[in-house]
Chain A
Amino acid sequence: MKTKVAIIGAGISGASIARVLSRYENLEVHLIEKAPDVGWGVSKANTALIHGGYDDDPKKYPMRAKLCIKGNRLWHEWVKELQIPHIWNGALIVATKEEDFDELERLIERGRENGIPEMRIVDRDELFHLEPGLTKEAIGALWVPIVGQIGPIPAVIAIVENAVANGVKTHLETEVRGIKVENGEVKGVETNNGFIEADIVINAAGLYADEVARMAGIDYFEIHPRKGEYFLFDDAIPGPKRVLFPTPTPISKGIVVTTEISGHLMIGPNAQDLPPEEKEDLATTRGGLEQVWEGAKKLWPNLPPKWKVIRTFAGLRPEPTGGDFIIKAEEEVWGFINVAGIRSPGLTSAPAIAYEVAEIIQCDLGVGLVEKTKWNPYRKEITHFFMLSPAQINELVKKNPAYGKVICRCNHVSEGDVLEAIERMKFIGVKMPSVDSVKFRTKATTGTCQGSFCRPRIIQLLAKEYNIPPWKVTLKGSGSEIGIGDVKVLVRGDEA
């Protein structure tokens, strides 16, 4: 008989856990997500870094210290198996004062303790050879070559696609309302779409992990949101080749200057603690953006003019009581595993978190895991028109002319890319057609014009594929419909 596992939250942690658990013959894995698509919570908006694992103190934050470097090593494998867009460009932690070197030495020391030998101090000459655009105040840096960048939502999508291909069942637009516990054992999950029976419930609910834990009667921690804001600049703006950090302070890793994987200069984040009830506040603020600007300028003085900004956005990190990741089987509720407080470096740690959970299932819950004989570790990336040669375009056009038709002018996304994205959305169980779902898979609407040309075309494609009127297509799920009806809706006085 199979052990039924319900994972709450299809973010980077939940998805990674689903993938790792999909390896086992004797598990039936259900991935539950309240959003219409995967990766739309905490995973959506962050610095997209695969951190080096050197900065968490193993005495204060043992989980973070252990899982970050383990996650980094695993990502080097996962990006290949799953064809996740990535770059291993390394990081420089920049010193601008003599005292900073003491901190950098401490980081090297801690890095060694955490199992990262590949770090060294570079002097001023080498530093400017590496990054000529850095502030002239820079006097040296710590060089960490194993740092990289990935597309966080593309990563979640890739992992979920692979998990589903290996038998994981997804439940999107499914909100958890309660955890059924009988005689100290979990029995399943109450949702808006009915009851999902489960022997093991894994709480990877991000910002809401405390609320989900309370549903199972566990209330020793609280999650509060910490907001970080970002600027993204037009792709013609030269940025650094490597990830640039200031020397960290006791409270923060500082504002990063980097060129993200699509080639846009990105700066951020600041850190603003919000009260626990403001878990939906993703608004950018003028004060926060000003902080980011000033912070970034200290490392990268030649920031572009503000009208070269193509997007500003904010993300929330789930800060747990105590600060360390909470990853454990709860003793008072058998079968309930918390994966909570997965703040930075959560993206980096996610694959390691997943293996940690598999370990917990075996060791703490005593479920012997039986590997499948045919588990498929591979997933093929969606076609990206912008990566094709003209000859490859012609090959694809023979099969489907839509691959030759560019609909996103800025990023060169073809209609074929969008149709393929729709197929992949359907494959993992996306029910609600949204522009953002297409955006995160294809990069359409993320360029210089921010979608004013291609969004109307994407809306048409979605409307046609899902057989709904175009105004019912949403930007990002229910409540964000593109329009209110056909153009005569107000004149007629009735809503379509």
Chain B
Amino acid sequence: MSGLHIIQYDVVVIGGGPAGMAAAVKAKELGLNVLLLDDNEYLGGILPQCIHPGFGIHYFKEELTGPEFAYRLTKRALELGVDYYTAARVLEIKNYSDIEKVVIFSSPKGAFEVWTKTIIYAAGARERHAFEIGIVGDRGAGIYTAGEAQTLMDIYGIMPGREIVIVGSGDVGLIMARRFALEGANVKAVIELMPYPGGLARNIMILKDFDIPLYLSHKVVEVKGKNRVERVKVIKVDENLNEIPGTEFWIECDTVVISAGLIPSVKLLTNIGAEIDPATGGPIVNDLFETTIPGIFAAGNTVLINDLVDYVAEQGELAAYGAKLFIENGGIPTKHWIKLRKGENVRLLIPHYLSGERDVFIYARVKRPMENVEVRFPEIGKRLRLPIVKPAEMLRLKLRKEDIAKAKDEITMEVVPL
């Protein structure tokens, strides 16, 4: 192509959040020639706006804030001399062959065509917004996703409003409830559709700490306020999530914060035909986080929505290791893959395929909360007891390669009451 700057790498990492940065650092440590790309002005992804603690206990063995976590990875990447571009948006990925791929990106320095042997796709996720969850009514100012409100407050210093209703009790919503309360806003309610809260236990505590009412089994159905939000209509739902007529009430507010879950960003992957798991919304991956397209790896929230940044970084490292193995062998050498299947009370799990050649962490979420359960893998006779499982908290379980190797073609994971 004429007029394009052409460059060459072993691995191009798309996304400079925790998964991408951990992947780039690890790939560099493994001796690969790596390019890291991010479309923000700064590295770190969403971390620089997460000014609360709770990051890094597993990965750095100490509790950090988001900016601190991002700083550590950035510092390491700079020390190692990882090549990177910020304000760089990947426009297209082309998969010419197993060992020849092209990444086209644009930046203030121009458009580039990168030839690479492998790609690690760590594009993160986006938030569901008001229209996707069926809210009707007016479309004035004051309706934000939780992440956008967080960007406005913690990156740009803008106070979005003073009377706040939070839709959804996921972690981002709860953290934003606290954030607003700390700045003196009146957080009038958190409205949760499900009969149980959506966030981690430590974040549910925020509601008690700041005396914020939580409405379980309720939903926001309408927003009023032509120029600016004036009030929202809330209705109760039954156990099948059907609205109960006559239970409607209005809450006066000037701001609605939508925290209704995240959706993996996979557009560039699907454009080149990577298979997507409808349960996670992310690509189907093996135990090296390789997608169904050889040499294209994925990591972090683009694969599945994680609750801890530590897991995200861990996945990035594994993908880097996968890229190294891929380059050295001209492809991942595993001949026989064992499929990991969802059984009783398992909503989603990754990786989808296991080699049995290495120990793996399985990341899974249950469908509904349960106490005193056993997690079973019947084909290999492995069992594990847990006092409690919740949809909001991801299960991360280790399977040893010796155990995995006992299976022929499939391993099922089920979560059953004792």
Interface residues of A (CB under 8 A from B): 236, 280, 282-286, 289, 306-313, 385, 389-395, 397-398, 401-402, 404-406, 409, 412, 414, 448-453, 455-456, 459-460, 470-471, 474-491
Interface residues of B (CB under 8 A from A): 1-5, 39, 87, 89, 91, 104, 106-111, 113, 126-134, 136-141, 144-145, 147-148, 151-153, 155-162, 183-185, 221-222, 224, 226-228, 265, 267, 270
- What's the count of A-B pairs with C-beta under 8 Å? 170
Whether A406 pairs with B89 at a CB distance below 8 angstroms is: yes
Whether B136 pairs with A390 at a CB distance below 8 angstroms is: no
Whether B137 pairs with A482 at a CB distance below 8 angstroms is: no
Q: A390-B104, A480-B228, A490-B162 are in contact. Are A310 and B131 (CB under 8 A)?
A: yes
Contact sample, A vs B, 12 pairs, CB 8 Å cutoff: A280-B226, A289-B136, A393-B110, A394-B111, A404-B109, A405-B106, A452-B148, A453-B148, A456-B152, A484-B159, A487-B153, A489-B159
Q: Using Cβ atoms and an 8 Å threshold, which residues of chain A touch B265?
A: 409
Of A309, A402, A452, which contacts B108 at CB under 8 A? Answer: A402
Of B130, B141, B159, which contacts A486 at CB under 8 A? Answer: B159
Return the 5 tightest CB-CB contacts between A and B, nearest first. Answer: A490-B184, A391-B3, A479-B227, A406-B89, A401-B108
Besides A391-B4, A405-B107, 7 more A-B contacts (Cβ < 8 Å) are A390-B113, A404-B111, A452-B148, A479-B226, A482-B141, A484-B161, A488-B183
Of the candidates B106, B127, B221, B227, the one having the most CB atoms from chain A within 10 angstroms of its own CB is B106
Complex CA–CA separation, A391 to B222 (angstroms) = 46
Of A282, A392, A394, A489, which contacts B138 at CB under 8 A? Answer: A282
Whether B107 pairs with A449 at a CB distance below 8 angstroms is: no
Complex CA–CA separation, A11 to B314 (angstroms) = 55
Give B128's nearest chain A residue, CB to CB.
A307
Complex CA–CA separation, A395 to B126 (angstroms) = 32
Whether B228 pairs with A479 at a CB distance below 8 angstroms is: yes
Whether A307 pairs with B3 at a CB distance below 8 angstroms is: no
Min CB gap B225→A, angstroms: 9
Min CB gap B131→A, angstroms: 5
Whether A482 pairs with B126 at a CB distance below 8 angstroms is: no
Whether A456 pairs with B151 at a CB distance below 8 angstroms is: yes
Of A312, A313, A409, which contacts B39 at CB under 8 A? Answer: A409
Min CB gap B52→A, angstroms: 14
Complex CA–CA separation, A92 to B31 (angstroms) = 60
Whether B104 pairs with A412 at a CB distance below 8 angstroms is: no
Whether A406 pairs with B161 at a CB distance below 8 angstroms is: no
Whether B184 pairs with A397 at a CB distance below 8 angstroms is: no
Whether A452 pairs with B2 at a CB distance below 8 angstroms is: no
Give B258's nearest chain A residue, CB to CB.
A452
Q: Using Cβ atoms and an 8 Å threshold, which residues of chain B touch A477?
A: 227
Give B134's nearest chain A residue, CB to CB.
A306
Whether A406 pairs with B132 at a CB distance below 8 angstroms is: no
Whether B227 pairs with A476 at a CB distance below 8 angstroms is: yes
Min CB gap A332→B, angstroms: 36
Whether A491 pairs with B184 at a CB distance below 8 angstroms is: yes
Give B145's nearest chain A residue, CB to CB.
A452
Of B5, B89, B137, B159, which contacts A487 at CB under 8 A? Answer: B159
Whether B157 pairs with A486 at a CB distance below 8 angstroms is: yes
Whether B4 pairs with A490 at a CB distance below 8 angstroms is: no
Q: Using Cβ atoms and an 8 Å threshold, which residues of chain B touch A390?
A: 1, 3-4, 91, 104, 106, 111, 113
Of the candidates B1, B132, B147, B155, the one having the most CB atoms from chain A within 10 angstroms of its own CB is B132
Complex CA–CA separation, A398 to B111 (angstroms) = 11
Give B130's nearest chain A residue, CB to CB.
A450
Complex CA–CA separation, A448 to B136 (angstroms) = 18
Whether B151 pairs with A397 at a CB distance below 8 angstroms is: no
Q: Using Cβ atoms and an 8 Å threshold, which residues of chain A touch B221?
A: 286
Complex CA–CA separation, A398 to B108 (angstroms) = 9
Whether B108 pairs with A490 at a CB distance below 8 angstroms is: no
Whether A310 pairs with B132 at a CB distance below 8 angstroms is: yes
Give B132's nearest chain A residue, CB to CB.
A307
Min CB gap B87→A, angstroms: 5
Complex CA–CA separation, A391 to B5 (angstroms) = 9
Whether A394 pairs with B107 at a CB distance below 8 angstroms is: no
Of A282, A455, A482, A491, which contacts B226 at CB under 8 A? Answer: A282
Of the candidates B141, B144, B152, the one having the most CB atoms from chain A within 10 angstroms of its own CB is B141
